[in-house]
Structure formats: structure tokens, C-alpha cells
């Protein structure tokens, strides 16, 4: 336990300037300790608004230690944070939650956007994945006027960022209706004039039936999932998802943002897979920009598990004429 406390002290010290920056830009949701990369294998600590969430994947921790972590974090952030601990043992069991204190008003803010951040709910994962902030930040700036398709939407964090960023429309697709219900609350809690449609559907089935009409498609699949409509297996067959996502773009072209969360697949290998798949599908990529999570998710080797590929795709006409490497633009 002493190791955990020492690792947390180091992690807080490294974040002193970052925290000030996050607060200045309207964020009170961020990671304060990132597991093995910061000397604490199997433990993460996150701030979600008024609560401090400690998650453990290996050994349980002494509740008194969790409370002391909350005390140390409260000093850094200048607000009293209520400790909540989730011991993520299998099988998933609601009893594995240890509400050490009432988590308070379950709302978190990120870049001025408001999210439902109830920590105790039916699922194991938090309602907002903090590592994807890098993409949400970008959508806040780049979504203006676009028709956005948000595949594997979960609680619609990406769709909400697009809405606040001025998207013309947002289509969120996920087969989990409980996640979409949280997403509906998130959309309603934020400004924006986007037409928002939620589709409680399997992504494979949705894409088969969709008329291509989007300017920006976000593809953020889990590592593996099986349904009666198809399999999601990002390591063995990413093209099975990427190809139909490319086809969902308007004939005028646009952007497909594809993510990959599996650590054993490098950013270079992922980019190569996407480029080959797009070329084979007759919609070669004009440019690919790779990025990862922000500074609260440090990695040992600069190769974080989360890889985001921002892929600019030309128009059908360009593709037919064999145009390659033209500057991105719409």
C-alpha cells in the first residue's frame, strides 16, 4: 500500500501544471494515476467532477488508503473529492462497488461540455472514457457544419462534442439502449443546433442499410464483440469495419476517424492496415494523421494503447481519376 501512496504522490506532482490548465479550459474530469506506466500496476485513479474514482484490477485496496488518496487529490485540485472505489473483478458484480462516500452531483465537465458521470451504475466502465478527450477536443473545433456519424457511440461523448462543435447533424449508433439513454441526457445537457438521431442498432446491420450521406464518420469499436449480425475483431479484421465506414461517406468525400485500443498493434501497423484497406476499396486516403491520448495517459514507450487515425478521404470522382496525395479539403 505504501507503494501505491508513493506512486500517487509522484503522479500528482507530475500533474500540478496540467491540473491548472484543465481547470482553466473548463475540465474537471481527468486521470490522476495511470496504472503500471506510473508505478501502480492494476490501479487507476480518475477525477470525475466532485468524485475520485479508484479502480483496481488485481489486488483490492484498503478503503482507508482510497480515502487517503482522495485527501491528497483534494489538496491538489482545491476541492473536496468524495472517494468511490470499483474493484473490477469478474464476474461483473454490482457488489464490487465500494461507495466510500456519496459521489455527489454526478456531473463532470470537459472543455466546457457537461457529461453524466454517475460512477455507480449497472455497467463496470465509467460513463465517459477520459482517454478519448483528444478526439472530443478536435471535434469541438472541426465539426462545424458537418453531418457526423458516431459508430459504437456508447454514451455519445463523441456525438456530444460534435454537437457542441456546431455539427449540422449527429447520428449515434449503438446496440446498448441503456448507454444511448445516458447519451440522450448528455445531448440535452449541452448547447448546439445539430439534428440528433439515436439508432439503437447493430453497427454491421446499420451500415448495410444506410444511405451514404455523412461528412465525418467516427469508428470507435471495442476490441472484440460478437452479435448475430457480425463480429467485431479489431486485431484480426479491422477492414470489416473500416470498409463500410468509408462507404458511409458522402460521394464528395470527408473524414473517417478510426480508433484502435489494443496495445499489441502499433500505430504504424494500424495506419498501414487503414491505407491498404482504403486503396483496395477504391477510396484511397489523402492523408492520415495519427494521435493518441493526452498527457494524463502517459506510456512507457510513446506507444499508448489508444491510437486515433484521422483519415481524410477524397471524393468518388477523385478516386475514379486516380488522384492521390492531393491536399485535404472540403
Contact set with ligand SAM (CB under 6 A):
129, 132, 152-155, 157-158, 174-176, 179, 202-204, 220, 222, 225, 227, 232
Nearest distance from C-beta of residue 219 to ligand SAM, angstroms: 9
Length of the chain measured in residues:
330
Q: Which is nearer to ligand SAM, 110 or 271 (CB)?
A: 110
Nearest distance from C-beta of residue 225 to ligand SAM, angstroms: 4
Question: Which one, of 235, 209, 240, lies nearest residue 222 by Cα?
Answer: 235
DSSP annotation of 1 reads -
User: Which H helix or E strand runs over 202?
Assistant: none
Nearest distance from C-beta of residue 243 to ligand SAM, angstroms: 15
Question: Which one, of 85, 153, 90, lies nearest residue 120 by Cα?
Answer: 85
Nearest distance from C-beta of residue 6 to ligand SAM, angstroms: 32
Percentages of the chain per state (helix, strand, coil), in multiples of 5 = 35, 25, 40
Nearest distance from C-beta of residue 142 to ligand SAM, angstroms: 16
Nearest distance from C-beta of residue 224 to ligand SAM, angstroms: 9
Q: Which is nearer to ligand SAM, 208 or 324 (CB)?
A: 208
Nearest distance from C-beta of residue 232 to ligand SAM, angstroms: 5
Nearest distance from C-beta of residue 215 to ligand SAM, angstroms: 18
Mapping DSSP to helix (H, G, I), strand (E, B) and coil, where does residue 206 land?
Answer: helix
Which residues neighbour 291 within 8 Å (Cβ) at sequence distance 6 or greater? 134, 308, 310
Scan for cell 482504403, then name that residue: 278
Q: Which is nearer to ligand SAM, 305 or 328 (CB)?
A: 305
Instruction: Count CB-CB contacts under 10 A for residue 182.
Output: 22
* DSSP state letters, 94-157: GGGEE-SS---S-EEEETTEEEE--SSSSSSS-SS-GGGHHHHHHHHHH-TT-EEEEES-TTTH
Rounded to whole angstroms, how far apart are CA atoms 307 and 304? 7
Q: Which is nearer to ligand SAM, 132 or 249 (CB)?
A: 132
By CB atoms closer than 10 A (0-12, 13-18, 19+), residue 196 is: buried
Q: Which is nearer to ligand SAM, 76 or 181 (CB)?
A: 181
Rounded to whole angstroms, how far apart are CA atoms 56 and 267? 27
- Cell output for 93: 458484480
DSSP annotation of 328 reads P
Alpha-carbon torsion (317, 319, 321, 325), positive or negative: positive
Nearest distance from C-beta of residue 222 to ligand SAM, angstroms: 4
Backbone angles phi, psi at 141, to 5 degrees: -95, -35
Scan for cell 510513446, then name that residue: 302
Q: Which is nearer to ligand SAM, 77 or 167 (CB)?
A: 167
- Cell output for 169: 447533424
Q: Which is nearer to ligand SAM, 8 or 48 (CB)?
A: 48
Q: Which is nearer to ligand SAM, 193 or 227 (CB)?
A: 227
Q: Which is nearer to ligand SAM, 12 or 162 (CB)?
A: 162
Amino acid at each position: 500500500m505504501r507503494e501505491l501512496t508513493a506512486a500517487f504522490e509522484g503522479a500528482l506532482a507530475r500533474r500540478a501544471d496540467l491540473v491548472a490548465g484543465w481547470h482553466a479550459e473548463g475540465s474537471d474530469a481527468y486521470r490522476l494515476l495511470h496504472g503500471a506506466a506510473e508505478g501502480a500496476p492494476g490501479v487507476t485513479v480518475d477525477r470525475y467532477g466532485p468524485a475520485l474514482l479508484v479502480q483496481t484490477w488485481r489486488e483490492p485496496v484498503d478503503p482507508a488508503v482510497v480515502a487517503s488518496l482522495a485527501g491528497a487529490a483534494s489538496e491538489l485540485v482545491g476541492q473536496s473529492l468524495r472517494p468511490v472505489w470499483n474493484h473490477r473483478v469478474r464476474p461483473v458484480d454490482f457488489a464490487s462497488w465500494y461507495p466510500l462516500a456519496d459521489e455527489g452531483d454526478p456531473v463532470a465537465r470537459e472543455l466546457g461540455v457537461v457529461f453524466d458521470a454517475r460512477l455507480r451504475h449497472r455497467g463496470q466502465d465509467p460513463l465517459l472514457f477520459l482517454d478519448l478527450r483528444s478526439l472530443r477536443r478536435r471535434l469541438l473545433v472541426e465539426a462545424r457544419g458537418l453531418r457526423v456519424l458516431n459508430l459504437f457511440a456508447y454514451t455519445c461523448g463523441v456525438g456530444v462534442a460534435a454537437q457542441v462543435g456546431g455539427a449540422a447533424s449527429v447520428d449515434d449508433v449503438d446496440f446498448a439502449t441503456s448507454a444511448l439513454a445516458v447519451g440522450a441526457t448528455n445531448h440535452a445537457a449541452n448547447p448546439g443546433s445539430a439534428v440528433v438521431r439515436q439508432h439503437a442498432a447493430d453497427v454491421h446491420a446499420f451500415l448495410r442499410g444506410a444511405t451514404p450521406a455523412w461528412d465525418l464518420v467516427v469508428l470507435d469499436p471495442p476490441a472484440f464483440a460478437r452479435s448475430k449480425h457480425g463480429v467485431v475483431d479489431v486485431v484480426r479484421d479491422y477492414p470489416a469495419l473500416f470498409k463500410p465506414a468509408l462507404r458511409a461517406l458522402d460521394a464528395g468525400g470527408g473524414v473517417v476517424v478510426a480508433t484502435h485500443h489494443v496495445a499489441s498493434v502499433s500505430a504504424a501497423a494500424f495506419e498501414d492496415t487503414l491505407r491498404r484497406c482504403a486503396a483496395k476499396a477504391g477510396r484511397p486516403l489523402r492523408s492520415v494523421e495519427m494521435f493518441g491520448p493526452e498527457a494524463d495517459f502517459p506510456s512507457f514507450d510513446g506507444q499508448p494503447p489508444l491510437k486515433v487515425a484521422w483519415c481524410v478521404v477524397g471524393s468518388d470522382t477523385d478516386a475514379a481519376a486516380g488522384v492521390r496525395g492531393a491536399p485535404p479539403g472540403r
